[in-house]
Structure 1
Amino acid sequence: MKPPAADLHARLHARVCSALLAAMRADVTAIDTVAGLATDLDPHTAGFLRESRRLVLACAAAVSSVLDVHRPTTAPDAPRVCRECGTGGCRTLNAVLTVLDAYAAGPAGIDRAEAWRRADRFFNGRGGPPLPVAVEDIGDGFAARAFTPSEPTGPLLVVDRRTGRLTRWPPMPRETLIAHYRHHRTGLP
């Protein structure tokens, strides 16, 4: 049985967004520098390296267009189906997912810089004077803290390394937080 179109669409959307984000974060100048310094690269490989960011952006945008057409919709008194195909298990989405699976193209994890951006938006996105935000790697995620004069050990925010999901935690020692967060992620008591 094929997965429902809504499930396929959500999985593909996450992968496409991940590819777009990775390509947008790539430093074009650094790519050109590496391609220029790597004298042992053949011209085809060097050319591919220089064009890789643009190619990833173009391919991800193309797949995004396919996802826009083959998105789930709800027909009156019917289960969610593909808007274009009218079926619950869209063949197009299945085919695209099969290709991405074959090349092990999956969502990228959250890096420290992205964790800081998300934490900064969380702590400083409500107006007021900007607060300094510190981010620390805790294995399964990143612990972030905003330092305020009134609450120097304020609440912790954990940004999940795999999903980017934010969760709030009370102040606690680093090792305790790591253990609690690992239990939280695995659903253990």
Structure 2
Amino acid sequence: MHTTADRAPLLQGIESIRTLAELADPTAIARLLDQPAAISHLDDHTLDFLRRAQDLLLATTRTLTGALEPTRRPTTIDIAEAWHRALLHLPRRDDGPVLIHIQEFEDAYQAIPILVPIPEPPPVPTLETATTLVIDKTTGTVTRWPLLPLDVLTSQYRRYKHQEPMLLDNQPS
């Protein structure tokens, strides 16, 4: 029978693997696997494994940790941890961000993915143009802006911060 001290190095290794799997960027992996030159020499089984490796490692490390620490007291998962775990288990989307609505009930949390399309900024904003918020990194001040291409918003916000006139079609307003 192994003691807890005997298991400590093994548990540390498992925890390291779990941490690495959580930190891996799934979109970077997907982009790599979408490059024909990178995968031309791989068979379908290998490609399937690589696409699922992160989820497989996370499930395996959870199972191993549970098996090696059967007397460990259960921990309470908070809403932030529930959100993090849902994010790791929901299917990835390349065409836009996914919001996750977490709803708590007596014994667990329900995680509902909410698909969010990001609107394209119009060439010239109008009264009907969607708005966006800008949160200043230094002051935390929140200001509302029309939805603009990021480079235009960047230059206009810089002008705003320096109390310079706004430019519309390269003309001062």
For the aligned pair, the TM-score class normalised by the smaller chain equals 0.3 to 0.5
Higher RCO by CA contacts (8 Å cutoff, separation 6 or greater):
1
- TM-score normalised according to structure 2 size: 0.37
Larger helix percent: 1
Structure possessing the higher radius of gyration over alpha carbons? 2
TM-score, structure 1 as length reference: 0.34
